[in-house]
Amino acid sequence: MLMPPKALASLDFHARIPKHGATVAVNSLTPVVPRWGVMLRGVALSSAIALAAPPALGQSATDEAAAAYEQGQRAFANGDFSAAAEFFETADRTQPAAQALIQAIRAHRGMRSPAHDARAATLALTLLRREAADPRITAYASRVVDDLSPQLARVTVQCNGCDLSLDAQTSGADVFAEPGPHTLTAAWGLRVTHRPLQLLAGSNNPIELTMPGETPPPAAEPTRISTPEEIHAQTGVTPIDTERPPALRGALPTIEQAPRRVEQPVQPPTPDGLSPGVFATGMVITAGLAGVLVWSGLNTLEGNDAYVQNPTQTALDDGRVRELRTNVLVGATAAAGVTTLVIGAFFTRWRSAPVYAGASPAGMLVGGRF
């Protein structure tokens, strides 16, 4: 199985395959690639899994996570994004791994619904906290949050050790939700409090909850600053401000007078990977080479027939030249096809727009927006 130069994360999932009394470790990790890449790698992975023996009783957490991850891959390749998201999240809960969480985000976004978008953005927040040391993963998670947050509402809760649920679903303390009415529930053992919410798209909602029956801490009193006259009466020291001319006493710069800092626009992170146009170009080149190869093969057969009818040295040399040309075209076409598939599966940035390809009576058609 071909692997990219550097995967976003490492996840050692293995399946044991009997082979002549020995066991062979099969790496089932799929890198962060678009749907085409998952489908291509799923073909190779399914071949290996089909040979695997039934899992033994008492399997380890790694084996359980690997099984859930593989089921998620199959569901994703079949277009069942809801089931794929559930399997990938199960794999991450069993054995936390950034790759499983990233695949869960991609599956939720594939559903194209506000509820699944909210879950994808919430998982991206988890990635930002858990993988803060990996710049590539945090860049991906930040892009997800930036893309989805304008149409969602963010809820950040402080409740001092409570268990949270949003609309009767277990929730974390920092989540995204779809706009509209919701009910936030906090539980401290048998003490429960409910907070109705009306969330707006693009809003950020910090919420503080206290245990029922607990008195909130009193607010701190504002610090009072003594006037220059009071300081002089208590200490006998004349404050500097009273020695200034009356017109300048208390003439402190206001907020409007203070220089304002100019906020520099933040450039969005550049998506990783090659443009889909590179893959489309590779397909066109491969199709062109294949066409030339077909012509060369037919031309070689004609040369062979000519030699059979007139077996001369000139006809023999001409046939050898045609055969060599055809062999070179076979190698070039195969190399171009394999290279194009590798680029499309592992190194192409498909997120910006879809690319489609097909055949028609007029020839190979490639389309899309890049």
Quote the pLDDT of residue 296.
84
Tens of pLDDT, residues 182-237: 999 999 989 999 999 999 999 999 999 988 876 655 666 666 666 767 776 777 66
Helices and strands in the chain: count of H runs, count of E runs: 9, 11
Query: Is the CATH number of domain 152-211 2.120.10.30?
Result: no
Gap between the Cα atoms of 124 and 109, Å rounded? 11
* Amino acid of residue 98: A
pTM: 0.45
Quote the pLDDT of residue 266.
56
Gap between the Cα atoms of 108 and 118, Å rounded? 9
Per CATH, the number for 1-150 is: 1.25.40
Q: How far is CA 151 from CA 114, 154, 179, 215, in A?
A: 8, 10, 8, 37
Gap between the Cα atoms of 306 and 327, Å rounded? 19
Gap between the Cα atoms of 277 and 357, Å rounded? 12
Q: What is the three-class DSSP state of 65?
A: helix
Which has the closest alpha carbon to 100: 126, 134, 136? Answer: 126
Burial category of 196 from C-beta neighbours within 10 Å (exposed 0-12, middle 13-18, buried 19 and up): exposed
Quote the pLDDT of residue 269.
57
Q: What is the three-class DSSP state of 28?
A: coil
Going from the first residue of the chain to its last (370 residues), give the mean pLDDT of each consecutive group of 10, the final group possibly shorter. Answer: 37 37 36 40 42 49 93 95 95 94 95 94 94 94 94 93 90 93 93 92 92 67 66 66 50 47 58 75 86 85 80 82 87 86 78 54 54
* 320, 326, 327, 331 alpha-carbon torsion, rounded to 10°: 160
Task: Return the residue matching tokens 């099969």.
Answer: 26
- Per-residue tokens: 30: 């799929």
* Contact in structure between 183 and 195 (CB atoms under 8 Å): yes
Quote the pLDDT of residue 34.
40
Gap between the Cα atoms of 197 and 180, Å rounded? 8
* Contact in structure between 145 and 117 (CB atoms under 8 Å): no
Quote the pLDDT of residue 177.
94
* Amino acid of residue 19: K
Quote the pLDDT of residue 24.
34
* Contact in structure between 175 and 204 (CB atoms under 8 Å): no
